[in-house]
Structure 1
Amino acid sequence: MSHAEAAAVTDLIAPPLPRRLACWLYEGMLMFGVVFIAGYLFSTLSQTRHALDNRHGLQAFLFVVFGIYFTWFWAKGQTLAMKTWHIRVVDRHGQPLTQLRALLRYVLSWLWFLPPLAAVAPFGLPAGESTVLLLGWVAVWATLSRFHPQRQFLHDALAGTRLVQAVRPVNT
């Protein structure tokens, strides 16, 4: 990496943790629409008449739909929520993500949810206790970004990606 490239990469500033978490929550709200449309499509195509029928198939289908959604938007640099909160995702060198790197980021982003879900599955905990464990894990996960030199989440560090503040457009 040349000196100019190194300087450009260091100019990329990680967004503050509260902004990243607000973006994450907003993304979750937007995903309700994606889930609704995908669920309707799945139930229509599979002729599912009861919500609990084919639930594992629906979960796998949603995993794929989410993967397509996030991989496509991250390869373009931003999801709608990220655009709203002026956040971009780039690789370590500040370049846009390739489809493969975006897909890797998607798979690794499940580290937010899989450990607590795997921990509660054998115990059959009620939904309230499972939610507390999940939220506790998310809080620990988010707080760990404070210890990363560039304030990045673990899945971003593992995927070779970075969240950076997007340049706000100047009104003319």
Structure 2
Amino acid sequence: MLLVTAVIFVAALPFLYTVGNAQTGWVHHLFQLYLVGVLFTYFSAFWLRSGQTLAMKTWRIRLVNPSGDAVTLKQAALRFVLALTGLLLAGAGFWWALFDRDRQFFHDRIIGTRLVREPRKT
């Protein structure tokens, strides 16, 4: 979460420097859309390239499609949108994993992606 906060902060600087006040009106909505785009780029780039964000590498977790391969852009986009929606609904998409028999998040269950544990490197 701290890394995502840093990504948002760094991405916000050039926007706010260029535009100035982004607290009201259409500029505020444009700023929010810009930040969502930055987050989508961050997550999808890592998921498409290696299946792991930096935090996922630390925890040795990889995102894969049903055949065990890297996810497609469509799967990454759907996962991002559904995860964001689940987060906005009081985290319902994430609470789902507590009751799911395979401990999958709601968005992973719907799309068919899954998180797998990477073996420890020796």
Give the TM-score band, short-chain normalised: 0.7 to 0.9
Partner of residue 57, structure 1: 30
Q: 1:82 aligns with which of 41, 49, 56?
A: 56
Q: Which amino acid aligns with 2:23?
A: L
Tell me if structure 1 keeps the 8 A contact 2:87–2:93. no
Does structure 2 conserve the Cα–Cα contact (< 8 Å) formed by 1:88 and 1:163? yes
| Identical columns (%) | 39
Give the count of matched residue pairs.
119
Map Cα deviations across residues 13-38 of structure 1 (whole Å, 9 max, x no partner): xxxxxxxxxxxxxxx11012111111
Residue 79 (structure 2) pairs with residue 105 (structure 1): yes
1:165 aligns with 2:117: yes
Aligned-partner Cα distance in 2 for 1:44–1:141:
35
Larger radius of gyration: 1
Partner in structure 1 of residue 4 of structure 2: 31
Gaps of 5+ in 1: 1-27, 116-136
Match of residue 129 from structure 1: none
The Cα shift of 1:44 comes to: 2.6
Q: Map 1:1-172; keep pairs closer than 5 Å.
A: 28-45=1-18, 47-48=19-20, 50-53=21-24, 54-75=27-48, 76-115=50-89, 137-138=90-91, 141-170=93-122
Q: Distance in 2 between matches of 1:51 and 1:38?
A: 14
Cα root mean square deviation, aligned:
1.7
Q: Distance in 1 between matches of 2:67 and 2:101?
A: 15
Q: What TM-score does the superposition give when structure 1 sets the normalisation length?
A: 0.63
Question: Bigger relative contact order, structure 1 or 2, given CA contacts below 8 A and separation 6+?
Answer: 1
